[in-house]
A and B are shown apart, each in its own frame.
Chain A
Amino acid sequence: MSATTPELEPADTRRARGATILQVRDLAKTYGRSFLGKGGFRALDGVSLEVGRGQVFGLLGPNGAGKTTLIKVLLGLVGSYDGDARLFDLPAGHPDSRRRVGYLPEAHRLPGYLTGRQVIRLFAMMSGLDGAEADRRMARLLELVGMREAADRKVREYSKGMQQRIGIAQALVHEPELVFLDEPTDGVDPVGRASIRAIVQDLKARGVTIFINSHLLMEVELICDRVVIMVQGKILREGTIDELTPRTGSVRIELRAAPADLEQLLAGLGTGLKRDGNVFEVKLNDVELDQTIDRLRARGLGIRSLDQRRLSLEESFIDMVKKVARRTVRR
């Protein structure tokens, strides 16, 4: 799978980055509501969100949080909701907005009796391209998703990962401005995941907005600019990766050669010192950090690296979800 495709034209790099292309205000969706408007399962509960052009936006949440429902509302696959949802300043589900959107659904099922090439051609034509234009884009797209060799085999003969790649290709064939990827790395091997990450980075470089819904938080952490964490149909947190992964207060320092009396050297500075060979970790505030560096340098010890420890996105996510669960149980 090749990540760089210099020939592939960007959707519209000239458009100003940062302009809002996706806007959601107090969005609420209840499934299975009775005729009298009572009962049912509230999948979205007052969601408000804005996504700017060119962003890679991550949507996180436990199962049943409402992530897929949010995407489906925006694509017009789910109707009769409360609140306002707009894409490209058009009502959600409007054909003109759908024309500018690419979508890779979770657990999608491509027509097994068609070849990969035929699938891409079919969906290209459904997206408004003519056959000739679809064929023109085909070779580059197959190269991009690494399916050139297998393009003429029937989809039913493909592995899960290959079907996922063709799924991505069909989502990109009409050069959309906004791409929804629902579990894009599902069933893909590590090499394939790296390639998909590269494709996303490439699309981002071209100004394409990407909306990723994934359970693989490592992927999200590596790819996304902004992340929304949803729980029980509500947005729990929204922010950049840095904002969502707070510092733990611990500093990890690697020395060229650690002295035997390190604990005595740093006595009175910070708490919870842990040592592992030449590496040690200790909780320090900013003043204590300066003093620590001064003492190490005064002893003539060389510092190889110094990291401010943060919570991983996964740790942060689990922490937030657990807090909500505890609150719910208490209620």
Chain B
Amino acid sequence: MLDNKIFRVLLVLVCGIVACFFLVGFQKDELQVVWGLWSIRYEDVFSAFGQRMAAGSDLQGLLVQRVQSTVVETLCGSIGMIVCLSATAFFLPRMLEKGAADLVFAKPVSRFALMLSRYVSGLLFVGILAVVGTFGIWLGLLVVSGYNDPGVLWGAVTLIYLFGILHAFSCCVGVFTRSTVAAILMSVVFFMGTGCVHSSWLVKSFFQESEAADAVRAELEHSGTEETGEVVKPTAQESESPWIMRMLMTTLDSLHYALPKTSDADYLTKKLRKAVEGEPWRIVDDDSKLSVTELPEGFEIVEPSGGRLHVDASKQPIVFVARGEHGEAGRIEIARKTRIVERPDTSGKGARTRKLSTQMVADALVEHAKRAEGLVGDVAIEKTTVDGLYALAVHWTAGGQNHTVHVMTSNDWALEIATHFAVEWKPTLGGRRRGPPEPGERGVVEEQARLLRHFLGGVRIARQVDVPNPEEWYEKRFTWSAPLSSNIAFSIGSSLLFIALMLGCAWWKLRRIEF
């Protein structure tokens, strides 16, 4: 195989990609090209792509993961697959050509073994490239960037798995047609076809389920009962759709079950990566999907207690506390409140509801602050963002504490992130020592503001909570215990069965070929 010219060309290409990871260093704050010859700040990289990142974001991790995902999933998983299919499709047809077949099949080796050897050669072909690629990328990141992400190594496994499915089809076509060109073309069409089927099925199922969920929610709201989220029935709209659409949907469902799940390879990689890395630490308010990804430095968690990471912030706020020399020095609270309020009944038609805007919530807070005991100075209000979401920050000083409350609204909720720092308390951000400020050192207010910015940088707020994109929806559903349509075991099992079926068909045909 190493004598194969195409293999050597591809190996050189893969080594070229790996070399890039040794030449480009992803440092903490910047990208260093050729070991520091040029440096580019991450903000500049992201802004070049039209993205503004929140302060305190892990830009290094974000960029590395995007680059890895582009290289492993897009470059290798799509373009690379087609290239490898083209490079290996000739394995079987060439063996079956007149002159070559007579030599090989006259030997005391079974036809099945010969066919399987060609199949395994293909897997080895891609396996070596995938292992060299992923291991090289991991090593490059570790050595040059100091970024250790062993999860990327799982990319090799899923690339081989994906290629295993496609190569089995290619072998089958190769045996039936005995043509390399036919094997390449049909395999590429098959790869794209299965991708299209699964994407279409994903979108269809996602919208069907969303519609069904909306219908159930509306029904529950109407009847005044609580939504359980368990009952998801087809909507009346679906059953009333034209017969041709129903037939198309049924065909799509059938194809989804019958065809190997090539698109699931990406999800499998993500699951494997998560299994290796473990779930990242984060406290999540389940209803609003607000999450805190980083514990503020010098603070401890008061709520949720007992190691819980999922909370209902509408009932019990998330609370972090920093202890000073004289007791509690800083407190951060995250609370969620409903912003749906009843309007006064002026028309006599009964009570009606409305949603409070961010400004209304902030105004109410300002009024509350103005009545605070021991208020020093004015209550200030400023426009800002938290994780890109519009927010209003209300600042005031009262009772020996600096108070800042960030107010945001999302769906039916008003979210409040409140910080209460003792006026003389200086946070120890970055592990600096306590004590009076040294010449040139930042003051208390600046350090408190810096702590707050850093903390807010780690807060994530999911927009459109009820409408994630289909990929995210499927990724969440794709588990070992899910229904068959999105079950990992079924996905792997049916794909392996497809491989066996393709090889079985190829063997059946091969036994009947007369050379």
B125 to chain A, nearest CB (A): 14
Is A77's CB under 8 angstroms from B99's CB?
no
Contact residues in B for A113 (Cβ distance below 8 Å): 3-5
- By size class, the interface of chain B is 20 to 34
Our pick among B100, B103, B110, B511 for the contact of A95 (Cβ within 8 Å) is B110
A78 to B514, CA, bound (A): 5
Residue from the list A79, A103, A109, A110 in contact with B106, Cβ < 8 A: A103
Task: Indicate whether B515 reaches chain A with its CB closer than 8 angstroms.
Answer: yes
- B62-119 residues with Cβ-Cβ distance < 8 A to A are 97-110
Q: Is the CB of A77 within 8 A of B514?
A: yes
Residues in A with CB closer than 8 Å to B105 are 75-77
CB pair A101–B103 under 8 Å, yes or no, is no
Cα–Cα, bound, A72→B105 (Å): 10
Residues of B contacting A95 in the complex (Cβ-Cβ under 8 angstroms)? 108-110
Most buried by A among B100, B104, B514: B514
Contacting A at CB under 8 A, from B23-78, are none
Q: Which residue in chain B gives the minimum CB-CB distance to A94?
A: B108
Stretch at the interface among A123-131, A207-215, A234-242, A252-260: A123-131
Once A72-B515, A78-B514, A113-B3 are accepted as A-B contacts, the answer to whether A170 and B110 lie under 8 Å apart by CB is no
Minimum Cβ distance to chain B for residue A29 (Å): 9
User: Does A140 sit within 8 A of B, measured CB to CB?
Assistant: no
On chain A, the residues within 8 Å of B102 by CB distance are 72, 77, 103, 105, 108
Q: Are the C-beta atoms of B512 and A79 separated by less than 8 Å? A: yes
Q: When chains A and B are docked, how far (Å) is the Cα of A98 from the Cα of B105?
A: 10
Total count of chain A residues near the partner, CB < 8 A: 28
Residue A310 is within 8 A (CB to CB) of chain B in the complex: no
Among candidates B3, B97, B98, B108, residue contacting A127 with C-beta atoms closer than 8 Å = B108
A-B contact count (CB 8 A): 64
Please measure, in the bound complex, the distance between the C-alpha atom of A79 and the C-alpha atom of B101, giving whole angstroms: 15
A126 touches B4 (CB 8 A): no
Q: Is the CB of B108 within 8 A of A108?
A: no
B512 nearest CB neighbor, chain A only:
A79
Say which residue of A80, A107, A128 sits within 8 Å of B98 (CB atoms).
A107
Contacts of A167 in B (CB 8 A): 103
Partner of A126, one of B98, B99, B100, B107: B107
Taking a contact as CB atoms under 8 Å apart, the answer to whether A99 and B103 are in contact is no
With contacts A107-B98, A108-B99, A113-B4 taken as known, whether A101 is within 8 angstroms of B106 at the C-beta atoms is: yes
Interface string of B473-507 (1 = CB under 8 A from A): 00000000000000000000000000000000000
B419–chain A nearest beta-carbon distance, Å: 70
- Asked if A152 is an interface residue, CB under 8 A from chain B, the answer is no
Assess A123 versus B4: contact at CB under 8 Å? Given A95-B110, A107-B98, A128-B108: no
Contact string, A62-85, partner B, CB cutoff 8 A, digits 1/0? 000000000010011111100000
Chain B residues near A79 (CB-CB < 8 A): 511-512, 514
| A126 to B100 CA separation, bound complex (whole angstroms) | 14
Q: A72-B515, A108-B99 are in contact. Are A77 and B3 (CB under 8 A)?
A: no
B106 contacts A75, CB within 8 Å? yes
B99: min CB distance to chain A, Å? 3
Q: Smallest distance from the beta carbon of A186 to chain B beta carbons, Å?
A: 12
Asked whether B515 lies within 8 Å of A127 as measured between CB atoms, the reply is no
Query: Is A114 positioned at the interface, with any CB of B under 8 Å from its CB?
Result: yes
Q: Which residue of B lies closest to A118 (CB)?
A: B3
> Is A96 in contact with chain B by the CB < 8 A criterion?
yes
Known contacts A77-B514, A79-B512, A126 near B3 by CB under 8 Å: no
List, in ascending order, chain B residues with CB within 8 A of A114's CB.
3
The docked-state distance in angstroms from the alpha carbon of A280 to that of B63 is 101
Separation of A79 and B110 alpha carbons in the complex (Å):
14
Contact B512–A109 (Cβ < 8 Å): no
Residues from chain A with a CB closer than 8 A to the CB of B103 are: 103, 105, 108-110, 123, 167, 170
Q: B511: shortest Cβ distance to chain A, in Å? A: 8
**What A residues does B104 contact at CB under 8 A?**
126
B97 and A77 form a contact (CB under 8 A): no
Taken together as a complex, chains A and B put the C-alpha atoms of A110 and B110 apart, in Å, by 19
Are the CB atoms of A109 and B107 closer together than 8 Å? Answer: no
Inside 8 A of B106's CB, which chain A residues have their CB? 75-77, 98, 101, 103, 105
Determine the chain A residues whose CB is within 8 A of the CB of B4 once the complex forms: 113
For the complex, what is the distance from the CA of A254 to the CA of B511, rounded to whole Å? 62
Instruction: Let me know if A77 and B515 touch, CB within 8 A.
Output: yes
Report how far A80 CA is from B100 CA in the complex, Å.
Answer: 22
Chain A residues with CB below 8 A from B108, complex form:
95-96, 98-99, 126-128
Q: Which residues of B contact A111 (CB under 8 A)?
A: 100
Chain A residues within an 8 Å CB radius of B109: 95, 126
1/0 per residue, CB under 8 A from B, across A4-43: the answer is: 0000000000000000000000000001000000000000
User: Roughly how many angstroms separate A96 CA and B110 CA in the complex, as a whole number?
Assistant: 11
Shortest Cβ distance from A90 into chain B, in angstroms? Answer: 11
Besides A95-B108, A170-B103, 12 new A-B residue pairs in contact (Cβ under 8 A), listed by A number: A31-B514, A72-B514, A76-B105, A77-B515, A79-B511, A103-B102, A105-B103, A107-B99, A109-B99, A113-B4, A114-B3, A126-B107
Q: Top 10 A-B pairs ranked by shortest CB distance?
A: A109-B99, A105-B102, A126-B107, A99-B108, A98-B108, A95-B108, A103-B106, A113-B3, A77-B515, A78-B514
Could you give 14 example pairs across A and B, Cβ below 8 Å?
A: A31-B514, A72-B102, A75-B105, A77-B101, A77-B514, A77-B515, A78-B515, A95-B110, A96-B108, A109-B99, A109-B100, A111-B100, A126-B109, A127-B107
Which residues of A does B touch, CB under 8 Å?
31, 72, 75-80, 95-96, 98-99, 101, 103, 105, 107-111, 113-114, 123, 126-128, 167, 170
